[in-house]
C-alpha cells in the first residue's frame, strides 16, 4: 500500500500517477476517459489533473462497487484512512475527484461488468482497467467496450497486467487474463510503457480491431 501526496490511498506508485497525468495532458479530444475500478481515486485524480490541463470538456466515466470489504478496509487503514467493511466509499472518491475536476462526473455504482451496460456508448480515448483483472470479468468488460475504442488513438491501461506474478497455482491462472488477451491479439496493440520491476501496470495503444476476445 502506498499513499499519494494528497493522501489518497494508492496501490500504484508515483511513476504511474505521473504517466497518467502525462497522457491526460495529451488528450486529443477524440473520445472520453474512463476508469473501471476507481476505489478512492488514486489513479483517476492524476489522470484528471492532466485532462483538465488539456481542456477536457467531456464526461469522465467511473465504475466501481465503492463498497468496502474487509481486505480493502484493512489496506485503507494501513494508509491512514479509516473505513469499515461495508462502508460506501463513493463520497470519498467524489470528494477526491472534485478537488481537481468540476466537470461532468458520471459515476456508476455497481458490479462490473453489469454496470458497463449503463455506458452511453461514446468513443473512448483513455480506458483504465483496474477491477477487471480475471475471467470472466475481464473478457466481458472488453466485449462491452472494445467497439468504442479508436484505432491508433485509444490508450488502454491495464493496471494489474503483471498481478499474476505474485500468485501461484489457480490464482496465478486467474490473473493471467490480461496477458493472455494481449497474446491472442498480438499486433492489435502497441506497448507504450510498463514498469515490471516496480508495479503491475502496463499501458497499450489500441491499433486495430481485435482478433479474439
Report pLDDT for 79. Answer: 81
**Mean pLDDT computed over 107-128:** 97
Report pLDDT for 213. Answer: 87
Element (H, E) at 190: strand 189-194
Report pLDDT for 196. Answer: 94
pLDDT tens digits, one per residue of 71-95: 888 888 888 888 999 999 999 999 9
The domains located in the chain, with CATH, are 2-206 (3.40.50.150)
Report pLDDT for 4. Answer: 61
- Whole-number Cα distances in Å, 206 to 25, 76, 132, 185, 189: 19, 33, 17, 10, 5
pLDDT tens digits, one per residue of 119-173: 999 999 999 999 999 999 999 999 999 999 999 999 999 999 999 998 899 888 8
pLDDT tens digits, one per residue of 187-212: 999 999 999 999 999 999 999 999 99
Question: pTM score, two decimals?
Answer: 0.95
Amino acid at each position: 500500500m502506498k499513499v499519494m501526496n494528497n493522501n489518497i490511498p494508492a496501490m500504484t506508485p508515483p511513476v504511474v500517477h505521473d504517466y497518467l497525468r502525462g497522457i491526460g495532458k495529451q488528450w486529443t479530444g477524440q473520445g472520453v476517459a474512463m476508469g473501471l475500478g476507481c476505489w478512492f481515486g488514486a489513479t483517476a485524480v492524476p489522470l484528471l489533473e492532466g485532462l483538465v490541463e488539456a481542456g477536457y470538456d467531456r464526461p469522465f466515466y467511473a465504475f466501481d462497487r465503492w463498497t468496502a470489504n474487509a481486505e480493502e478496509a484493512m489496506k485503507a487503514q494501513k494508509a491512514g484512512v479509516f473505513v469499515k467493511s461495508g462502508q460506501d466509499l463513493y463520497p470519498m472518491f467524489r470528494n477526491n475527484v472534485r478537488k481537481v475536476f468540476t466537470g461532468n462526473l458520471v459515476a456508476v455504482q455497481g458490479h462490473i461488468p453489469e454496470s458497463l451496460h449503463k455506458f452511453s456508448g461514446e468513443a473512448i480515448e483513455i480506458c483504465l482497467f483496474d477491477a477487471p483483472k480475471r475471467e470472466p470479468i475481464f473478457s466481458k468488460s472488453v466485449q462491452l467496450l472494445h467497439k468504442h475504442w479508436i484505432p491508433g488513438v485509444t490508450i488502454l491501461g491495464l493496471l494489474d497486467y503483471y498481478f499474476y506474478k505474485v500468485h501461484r497455482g489457480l490464482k496465478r491462472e486467474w490473473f493471467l487474463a490480461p496477458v493472455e488477451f494481449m497474446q491472442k491479439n498480438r499486433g492489435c496493440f502497441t506497448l507504450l510503457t510498463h514498469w515490471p520491476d516496480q508495479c503491475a501496470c502496463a499501458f497499450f495503444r489500441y491499433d486495430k480491431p481485435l482478433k479474439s476476445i
